[in-house]
């Protein structure tokens, strides 16, 4: 399917609504630099060009859209089982973070061309869980570190 957006477009901010408006199999490359689930709040230094900018990298189930739980559980029950197990072993914050990531990764699978590439930047806070999600969504042989 052809793209319904201009080539070499760069989007910033929350990508879910943007991806849901994109045609399937229309993207060659996705670079993803999400929050890391560091359990910290960040603020730009006073005097910097970004002064006043802030974001929280803490997650709770009440922060996650309840519809996403059902969407993942219904569409991808094995994926939801992985997320649920991570929640049992690593806490509700990790479960909320993985739900937020999974719903976006599912959209990325839909919009990525069969020969497309996805690069995900993460640290060791949730890296192993994210790899497991990627394996479940894209297939075990598709993920390279």
Lowest mean pLDDT among 67-71, 128-132, 135-139: 67-71
Q: Is the pLDDT of residue 3 over 80?
A: yes
The maximal CA–CA distance of the chain, rounded, in angstroms, is 48
Element (H, E) at 117: strand 112-120
| Stretch 18-42: mean pLDDT | 89
pLDDT for 38: 83
Q: Is the pLDDT of residue 141 over 70?
A: no
Residue range 96-134, pLDDT digits in tens: 999 999 999 999 999 999 999 999 998 888 989 999 999
Residue 9 to residue 83: CA distance in whole angstroms: 32
Confidence of residue 52 (pLDDT cuts 50, 70, 90): confident
Closest CA to 112 of 137, 145, 144, 130: 137
> For the purposes of burial, counting CB atoms within 10 Å of the CB of 116, is it exposed (0-12), middle (13-18) or buried (19 or more)?
middle
């Amino acid at each position: 399917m052809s793209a319904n957006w201009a080539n070499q477009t760069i989007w910033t901010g929350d990508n879910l609504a943007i991806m849901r408006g994109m045609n399937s199999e229309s993207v060659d490359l996705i670079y993803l630099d999400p929050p890391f689930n560091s359990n910290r709040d960040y603020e730009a230094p006073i005097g910097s060009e970004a002064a006043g900018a802030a974001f929280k990298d803490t997650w709770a189930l009440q922060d996650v859209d309840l519809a996403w739980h059902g969407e993942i559980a219904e569409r991808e029950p094995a994926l939801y089982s992985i997320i649920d197990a991570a929640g049992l072993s690593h806490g509700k914050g990790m479960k909320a973070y993985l739900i937020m990531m999974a719903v976006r990764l599912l959209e990325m699978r839909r919009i990525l061309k069969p020969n497309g590439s996805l690069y995900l930047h993460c640290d060791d806070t949730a890296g192993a869980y994210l790899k497991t999600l990627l394996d479940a969504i894209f297939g075990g042989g598709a993920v390279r570190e």
